[in-house]
């Protein structure tokens, strides 16, 4: 059996296979890159039907990355999947507090999720950053609430929590109320690999 073993060739062939699914969607060149990386990460062309990119999202995300912004994640799986070397090229770092002992104890005391406490703890640091949420709908709700109650404004929210309890609703709320650009996938789909894939798509396209 013959199969491709060279990493770049595998990726290039994957993108060739994905391209026909996007051909009739009237996407910009940059949007194609985001859609393609999402579909590649999920192995699921059906994502093309549920991805939603705010009109200013790619511009805002790339500008923030070029300016050296930090990225704040809800879970370690998102943080692990992001290309930190590429992010560091312009001075940015990626952060996650889900395993922080103080965050865990506060969450237990308040009876809320650790991801909510993590976003509250990041607080003002979220301003001008990229927020990447791939797992916890409560983290996305918390960021939206922070924006409602304060002047905190991330440069971009990548909100793709996955699941059946609150995930779809949190993403609908993001699209309906966010005062800042966002990238999301409607419905129950999403997850940490998708959040990381979107982030990396922006990292690979922004000017260095």
| pLDDT tens by residue, 40-50 | 999 999 999 99
Q: What pLDDT does 14 receive?
A: 82
CATH number assigned to the domain with residue range 51-206, chosen from the 4 options 3.10.580.10, 3.40.50.300, 2.60.40.10, 3.40.50.10230: 3.40.50.10230
Question: Is 40 assigned a catalytic role?
Answer: yes
Q: What pLDDT does 142 receive?
A: 98
Distance CA 104, CA 122 (A): 14
Distance CA 23, CA 42 (A): 19
pLDDT under 50: residue ranges of the chain:
none
Q: Where are the domains of the chain?
A: 51-206
Distance CA 18, CA 179 (A): 32
Number of residues that make up the chain: 208
Q: Are strands 51-53 and 94-96 parallel, antiparallel or unpaired?
A: unpaired
Identified catalytic residue from 2, 40, 54, 95: 40
pTM more than 0.85: yes
Percent of the chain whose predicted confidence (pLDDT) is above 70: 95
Beta carbons within 8 Å of 22's beta carbon, 6+ residues apart: 32, 35, 36, 48
């Amino acid at each position: 059996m013959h199969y491709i073993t060279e990493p770049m060739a595998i990726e290039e062939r994957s993108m060739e296979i994905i391209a026909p699914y996007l051909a009739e969607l009237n996407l910009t060149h940059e949007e194609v890159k985001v859609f393609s990386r999402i579909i590649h990460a999920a192995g699921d062309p059906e994502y093309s039907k549920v991805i939603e990119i705010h009109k200013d999202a790619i511009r805002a995300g790339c500008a923030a990355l070029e300016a050296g912004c930090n990225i704040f994640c809800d879970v370690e799986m998102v943080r692990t999947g992001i290309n930190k070397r590429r992010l560091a090229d312009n001075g940015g770092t990626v952060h996650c507090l889900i395993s922080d002992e103080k965050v865990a104890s506060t969450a237990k005391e308040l009876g809320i999720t650790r991801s909510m406490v993590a976003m509250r703890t990041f607080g003002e640091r979220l301003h001008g950053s990229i927020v990447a949420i791939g797992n916890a709908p409560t983290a996305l709700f918390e960021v939206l609430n922070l924006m409602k109650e304060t002047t905190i404004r991330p440069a971009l929210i990548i909100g793709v929590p996955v699941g059946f309890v609150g995930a779809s609703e949190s993403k609908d709320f993001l699209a309906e109320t966010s005062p800042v650009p966002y990238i999301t996938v409607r419905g129950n789909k999403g997850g940490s690999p998708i959040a990381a894939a979107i982030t990396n798509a922006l990292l690979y396209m922004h000017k260095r």
